[in-house]
Amino acid sequence: MVTDISYEIFDKNKIEKRFSGSYYLRTSRTDLKGKEIRNIYIMLTDVESSFRVMKSELGLRPVNHQKDLRIEGHLFITVIAYHIQKTIRYKLKMHGINDSWNRIRLFMSTHEINIITQNIESGGELYIKKCSEPEKYQREVYEALGIKEKPLSNVIMITKPKKKGNNL
């Protein structure tokens, strides 16, 4: 049984210099150049990050499926969501927006549609639906994607009072 381990660094400066600011990728692929290996690695980390975010947003985590059909459905939804996300990010990059998916989601999440309902004296309800004003970043994203800044028009509606005794 091991009860103690000791080590000693002989030349600390040499070790720090060797690994300072460096990142090493190891592969068995001999047909790829360094830049290709790096690009594949970046793509892999991007895919993993995207899947993690989407599975959380879509409520697909944790994966507890035991039947093949459910597993296939889970993967199908995830892959479709990934392709949609990649298409969005590609269009944004064409317009100089190179942010991570998390950052895009964070900034876009503050653009909201507000729905307000208020009972009125006549027995009906006042219903107001209004889209908040987009900020500069949100406008840039919408423009890059060809989406209207306010996808829904404002709605103000007064409903008639319900007749008593009619629950339909």
Q: pLDDT tens-digit profile of 119-162?
A: 888 788 888 888 888 999 999 999 999 998 887 778 888 887 76
Residue extents of the structural domains in the chain: 27-106, 110-158
Q: pLDDT tens-digit profile of 73-113?
A: 877 877 888 888 889 999 999 999 999 888 898 899 888 88
pTM assigned to the model: 0.57
Most confident of 5-9, 118-122, 164-168: 118-122
Show Cβ contacts of residue 52 under 8 Å, excluding neighbours closer than 6 positions: 61
Question: Are 78 and 55 in contact, with CB atoms under 8 Å apart?
Answer: yes
Query: Three-state DSSP class for 63?
Result: coil
